Amino acid sequence: MTEAHAWAGAARALADKVTADAPGWHDAVSKTPRHKLVPRWWQRIPNSVTQEWELVSPPEDSAELLHAAYTDETLVTRVGPTHADHAAPGEHGKGDPTSSSTLPGLIVSMAHRLDVKRGQRVLDVGTGSGYSAGLFAHRFGDKNVTSVDVDPYLVEAARNRLAEFGRTPRMETIDATGELPDTEYDRIMATVSVRPVPASWLRALRPGGRVVTTVAHTALLITAEMGTDGIARGSVQPDPATFMETRREADYPGKLDGVFVTARVRRGEDIRPPEGTIPDLWQEWPLRWLFELDTPGVETRAATYPEDNRRVVWLLAADGSWARAEDGTSPLVHQGGPRGLWDALERVRTRWEENNRFSLHSMRAELSPEGSHLLSPDDSWRFDI
């Protein structure tokens, strides 16, 4: 079997899988050689003490490369400040992912929601590997697609790799939270998360235009359509989507390890039993995201101690506020710093329960250059985004 036939068959199988509910995207997926866009990537090292990654660099057109590229999975291409393209053999990456090639099924799902029509202008925010730009360009034409990213290397690499198989969308290196390359678009899709929703996107979105994006530090996917009054109205979608946040530097700011040193075992300035059970914020993700909407920027950590079956949850903030909640036979909450973070979490939980624990995808979105919001089903709860 020739290399062309091998990748074409794998891409067609991927298309069969991920476009079942969006058949209009089948041809684009089956004819876009993702393996050309992601020749190397990082793979998480299981059980590493620190968050470490090993380099995966299969031979060109190998079975390993084709299998990975045409499986519906995200491939992490950049960890911290280091892109896999620039890593030496055997080198380990350390830190959080800073770029990836998103799983194709999610790209197709979001693009399907975008509902692009022939001749419309599309802005692809977050070039990454260039895969989403390649899909849009294949289906709607290169001249109708602009892709932007803050990282010059990502843009240049994607431009060159797309051109190798005839795709030439417009590619620009910009901070997408600022001014855009053009002033008018019909469709905007972001594979990076934002908060706030940039005013420049909403100024550039034509009446009848549509935006699909996610709220930073949550998995809330929003679809909204621009009205003639300059407000884009829509809703949170039922299926979650998690993306890296927009960044301006080579890496994201460090985690709040200094605050954690204080919060880990220190006696709090305020000590009391919790109101109700101590939530597992990794399982009770709607509560976690509501808390993020209400009290943004709080870092959460947790640990379980098997010897006494005790679970501990920490909340950390950049202003030095912290909380530690310990369950077990005598649950207890310690708080310190200028804000009562556990008080804030309990307030959010109580209010959500008073609102019948509404589904998060029942929230409405109202986005405008003057300010964007999510609203609870009865409009009594309003979150700035």
Structure tokens belonging to residue 117: 């029509």
Return the number of other C-beta atoms located less than 10 Å from residue 4's C-beta. 10
Contact 342, 316 (CB under 8 A): no
Extract the tokens encoding 80: 């911290």
Quick one: which of 140, 115, 126, 132 has its CA closest to 211? 115
H helices of the chain, where?
A: 3-18, 26-30, 34-37, 63-69, 104-114, 131-140, 152-164, 199-204, 257-265, 285-294, 341-354
Distance (Å, rounded) from C-alpha 324 to C-alpha 303? 11
Please confirm whether the linkage preceding 253 is cis (ω < 30° from 0). Answer: no
Helices H / strands E in the chain, number of each: 11, 21
Whole-angstrom distance, CA of residue 338 vs CA of residue 270? 11
**Ramachandran class of 371: left when φ > 0, alpha when ψ lies in -120 to 50, beta otherwise:** left
Buried b or exposed e, range 67-81, using 16+ CB within 10 angstroms = ebbbeeebbbbbbbe
Identify the bridge partners of residue 190 per DSSP, sorted by sequence position. 125
Distance CA 123, CA 51 (A): 33
Q: In this structure, what are the phi and psi dihedrals at residue 337, rounded to the nearest 5 degrees?
A: 90, -175
CA distance 356 to 351: 9
Catalytic residue selected from 30, 99, 193, 376:
99
- The question of whether 362 is a catalytic residue gets the answer no
Catalytic residues: 99
